[in-house]
Amino acid sequence: MKRVVSLFITMAVMLSAVCFPTFVNAATEYVTVYLNEKAIDFPATDARPQIFSNRTYVPVRKTCEALGLTVDWNSKTETLTFNRAGVVISHTMRSTIVYVNGEAVNFDTPSINKNNRTLMPIRMLAESIGAVVTWDNPTRSVHITTNESVVVTPTTPSSSATDVMINSLSTDKQNVGNEDTVTLTAVANASTEKVRFVNASNNNVLGEADEFVANSDGTRTFIYEHKCVNDTNNQIIFSIQAIPGTSSAYSDTASASKTVGIIISNEKSSSKDDDNSGDFKSKYMLSCKLLTPKVQTDSEARIKIKTTDDVRRIKITNDFNSRSVTEDEYDEDSDDNRTFNCEVEMPEEGKHKLYVYLYVSRDGDYEEVYETLNVDVDDDYDEDDIEYDDLEIIDMWLNNDYGYKGYDSTVYVKTSKDVEYLELLREGQEPGEGLTRSATEEKYTSYYYWEFPFEVKQTGDTKYTLLAYNENEDYVSETFKLEGRPFDRYDPAVLNIDQRSSTVIEGDEITISVTCTGVTDRIRVTRGTTNTVYESEKQGSSSGSTKTFKATFTVDDIDADYYVTAYDTSDNYDRMKFKITGDVYSEIKIVDYNLEDDDIDEGDLVNITVTTSNSCEKIWIEDNRGERVSAIYSKPKREKNDNYEWEITFSPIDDGRRSYTIIAEDDNKNQDTDDFIVRVR
């Protein structure tokens, strides 16, 4: 028992991966890992131990093999289960939560996936078996030292069966409610006569199956149903181990048995006749992702929900008041699936639950079943101090649902800030075969904005897939369709529109370049379809079978739909829609400030948080003589409710009670100021 407790305690630090002195190296640095002074052999052709963000990550399977741990992988839930006598460790990829014998432990270092290989912080694997991990900087190597008696070496007890084995273990549901029943399927070899199912954390027997179906490949399939019970205040991972046996003995060795993890909610399912065997209670729900699992008080929790086209709207209720949020606006993809982006204000500190309901058109009502999301609301939480797995394509759009063969169309994309580059695949292409783009158009405080031009290579409807990659080569994807159209050089056609002015503010002049077929006589640019903002007075410049026009006009509504219409001499025409890339000007303004302490000791620093309009380009502090006493800040700490928040620090020059001035400036040198007083003792 003491050994189990000791293992549990060591898990409390297992994700605090090895930290090293700071260094700069653009290429991947591979390191050597020694186990009891003997180097572990990691093939150069496979994943190898390497450093990310000054921490050592190791390939899971090879390291587990060296340490004597067994590992099971559930591809559907992306869950790893490590097993050793009396201890079961479960971890879902890219999360910061680890379950030790069903108890959740939160960490700030997630596992990663690189080049389709699972990598984990080395302490997670080594310290979980009581090993000591040290870093040798001169040789750039990691040394694992174990008590040899602790390392797991699979053995076969003389009293157990020796030739039986579980080949695979699966469950019909990975996420269940309290008191729900799951069906476990164990496929065993031909020598197995029965299978015992136990609670992997304490070895308590749950039940047995001694009837089987003989398969054509000689294996045997055993079925067992188990009622899941969770009497805690949180969801848990319940690990079930399948142990093969004969009529007289069982083989409970790690190599013969298999383990599967089930996530059990502490709430009962709303419906017992749910016919959906996936992760969601509603058959109309395709994904339900909480984008902000932790927020500040009075901030919004953001939820992205993808459903079938049977769903008309979303309702989200909560556990802190009776109000609900509904959302009936959605984006529809090429498969007619719908994506709802919802926000729920979180006014109270603490751990709260959100309940997501779907309104189904054919039923004309909200379903009784719901999904539960957990949000941690903390007054002191700073979203810039903790990084979550936020890899996301926030939004994606095209100006038109068609383009002309041989000419560029453009997809516009908003992504999370951890996206390193984009890849665009045509139908039939695999990741790595498409067109890539690594330069963002703009890096905003809360997201990145990209413009991705690509050539339309064929006529007819073509399905495209956009992939957004982070630095670890993980990616998320969205699809869209574009109709490729042929054009007749004897008819007017708008082939391409190129915005020449990249940083347009509403009220500025803009220049666009318009490529048309050679028979085009003139063009007209309109806001909407009727309000003319530009009309050409002369012929464009010709180049072969095409003609290029340049149009300059004032942007008085940057969010409007604009159109270019190309006419020939007989007034036949073609029209194409476009959007202007730019921003609405907001007056420079200091909205608020918060002084941490206005009465300080000599030598102390002054810390002040300033909220400005998002037109603020830089901000600083001056004393009452007009001399600057702080650095000039050009990057806000965060963006919130269309405002910027800046955290400024400076050292007062003189003792006594002094007045200081905050100066906020936009890119046109317009300024706003505010004064405050600090007393230095």
Q: What domains can you pick out in the chain, each with its CATH number?
A: 2-145 (3.30.457.10), 166-264 (2.60.40.10), 285-377 (2.60.40.10), 393-485 (2.60.40.10), 494-583 (2.60.40.10), 590-680 (2.60.40.1930)
**Measured between alpha carbons, how far is residue 549 from residues 461, 523, 537, 543 in Å?**
29, 8, 10, 11
Q: Which amino acid, 372?
A: T
DSSP code of 293?
S
- The alpha carbons of the chain give a radius of gyration, in whole angstroms, of 31
DSSP code of 225?
E
Closest CA to 338 of 306, 375, 370: 306
DSSP code of 60?
H
Whole-angstrom distance, CA of residue 401 vs CA of residue 482:
5
Whole-angstrom distance, CA of residue 661 vs CA of residue 650:
12
Whole-angstrom distance, CA of residue 119 vs CA of residue 57:
6
Predicted local distance difference test score (pLDDT) of residue 103: 64
Whole-angstrom distance, CA of residue 584 vs CA of residue 589:
15
Q: Which amino acid, 473?
A: E
Residues of the chain with pLDDT under 50: 1-26, 148-160, 271-278, 384-389
Whole-angstrom distance, CA of residue 549 vs CA of residue 546:
10
Predicted local distance difference test score (pLDDT) of residue 105: 60
Predicted local distance difference test score (pLDDT) of residue 477: 86
Whole-angstrom distance, CA of residue 100 vs CA of residue 69:
15
Beta strand residue intervals within 347-493, DSSP E: 350-360, 365-366, 371-377, 393-398, 402-404, 408-415, 421-426, 435-437, 442-443, 448-455, 460-469, 475-485
Is 478 within 8 Å of 396 (Cβ atoms)?
A: yes
Whole-angstrom distance, CA of residue 378 vs CA of residue 349:
5
Whole-angstrom distance, CA of residue 262 vs CA of residue 239:
6
**pTM recorded for the entire structure:** 0.39
Predicted local distance difference test score (pLDDT) of residue 560: 84
